[in-house]
Chain A
Amino acid sequence: SYVLTQPPSVSVAPGQTARITCGGNNIGSKTVHWYQQRPGQAPVLVVYDDRDRPSGIPERFSGSNSGNTATLTISRVEAGDEADYYCQVWDSRSDHYVFGTGTEVTVL
């Protein structure tokens, strides 16, 4: 089955930029989506189709995908961005959703 690997944690100072990677074999050939999960809350979609944002998600959230790595970038990080972030792709061969291992973002 397809595996998505994320760093367990990323720390960033307020106002700086956080970059969260999602590694997978030739992930650039797939479409990647990202979810934010604040403590004690359900996940929320923050980026879909590699780089698009749902309505209500700030422009500070952006995505890219190429080669073996997809990246979620959070610009001008705020305290409210502290959360777990998960990447996700769809495995068309098995009709399964595949989630990354998750990254905890800490705002210093």
Chain B
Amino acid sequence: LLVDSGGDLVQAGGSLRLSCAASGFTVGDSQMTWVRQAPGKGLEWVSLFYRGGSTYYADSVTGRFTISRDTSKNAVFLQMNSLRAEDTATYYCARIGVLTAPTGPSDGFDVWGQGTVVTVSS
């Protein structure tokens, strides 16, 4: 289970920190990711925290967003700075499961949080 929190209304240029609390599995043993969805739009991958500690970002958020992990809290975070109107979205945390298929292992986002809403006013 993943529980997302931290979404709020914020002014353009402001900052926000989203949290994703996990239960039933250990984030330290998993790859974790953030996906966002602007109102009425599709899904956009935002950021990934690799099991070994490497982090990756979509071009649209590179240099402004930072993903982190706290294994003592079994949680993942997304620090969002220099927010823009186009960052307005529902943000979902998800686990990237290593899934077993007849053809071999494959990835898939197998556990999702309920989402938290970020609104950036201009």
- A and B from one complex: no
Residues of B participating in the A interface, judged by any CB pair closer than 8 Å:
none
Residues of A participating in the B interface, judged by any CB pair closer than 8 Å:
none
